[in-house]
A = this chain, B = another copy of it.
Amino acid sequence: MKKLINRVEDVVTETLEGVARLHPERVRKLPGYHVLVRRDAPVPGKVGLIAGGGSGHEPAFWGCVGPGMMDAGVQGDVFTSPTPDHILAALKAVDGGAGVIQIYNNYTGDVMNFDMAQEMARAEGMKVDTIVVNDDVAVENSTYTVGRRGIAGNFFVQKIAGAAAARMMPFERVLAVGKKANENLRSMGMALTSCIVPAKGSPTFSLGEDEMEIGMGLHGEPGIERTKLRPANEVAELLVSKAADDFPLKGGETVAVLVNGLGATPLMELYIIGRAVAGYLAERGIKIYRSYVGEFATSMEMAGCSVSLLRLDDELISLLDYPADTLTFKQV
């Protein structure tokens, strides 16, 4: 296993310590917890927002902590949900008196732990609610999921809810637009190689030297098809068409596009995929309002990518346009 780490059991702690140490003007780490919060949290009167999930998907989930998006990111061990005590600590740290909303991807372990944290917080009198992201159209149920999985499209839910909260909208409104973003969101991914979970030390799965897997999950869960590697244009069309058809999108509609790299895929390749996605949408009269290309939710050193589409209306456009100034994502 070739990783730039010290002890396997310290990777999450040391990552978060590194972030807090290198960006003290932006975030602080809650002592004893795998939680990074905005330096100025809680923001009085603003709806607090936390994102969380297993580690190994960096920059998710702490990457979007900052003005215009999340107030805290809470991290579990690699590919493991954060536990309720860490989630509860995050909820309390960002509660500015207007309630807190937790945003996470639909995996059974996360649902269980975030539900429990929500219950504990409510028992203490806090106002807490939840948005569960389930943007992945690949499969209906999967290894670690009942219902659809959440993947990189989570970024858009954080962006939209984050903008609404930054505009000081009330709790119910922030919750509603965040859920609306999730409902108007579809993603589809593929992988070329496996990642290596540090505690295991060897690849999670293997793919032949000329194979790819369509619809594979962020943790190596099975997809819908294992096939020979095809040219980028065909891969892109496969991903974007599966996402677009699931709505289904119609000519004249407007979307935001996210091309997400899973870790080892060079930016060149993501833009070659993005180019083909743009071509596919243009041919069908679907307008791209804004594009995001890069790494938003990874699987450590996995090679592959996903394509997400957020269907837009005026309300979502206005929130998408709102500035953000987070650790790993900035929009002027």
Contacts and interface: CB of A to CB of B under 8 A. Distances in A.
Interface of A: 2-7, 11-12, 14-19, 21-23, 55-56, 58-59, 63, 192-193, 209-210, 212, 229, 231-233, 235, 257, 259, 263-275, 278-279, 288, 291, 293-295, 298, 300-301, 303, 305, 323, 325, 328, 330-332
Contacts of A14: 232, 271-272, 275
Given A266-B298, A300-B268, A325-B332, A278 B22 contact: yes
A15 B268 contact: yes
A263 B303 CA distance: 11
Nearest to A327: B293
B271 A193 contact: no
Q: Would you call the interface of chain A mostly helix, strand, loop, or mixed?
A: mixed
Contacts of A16: 271
28 contacts: A2-B193, A2-B210, A2-B212, A2-B229, A4-B265, A4-B270, A4-B305, A5-B269, A6-B231, A6-B233, A11-B268, A11-B272, A14-B275, A15-B267, A15-B271, A17-B275, A18-B278, A22-B274, A22-B275, A22-B278, A23-B291, A56-B266, A56-B268, A58-B267, A265-B301, A266-B298, A266-B300, A325-B332
Nearest to A323: B332
A330 B331 contact: yes
Q: How many copies does the complex hold?
A: 2
A22 B298 contact: no
Given A21-B279, A268-B300, 9 more contacts: A5-B269, A6-B232, A15-B268, A15-B275, A56-B266, A58-B268, A267-B328, A330-B330, A330-B332
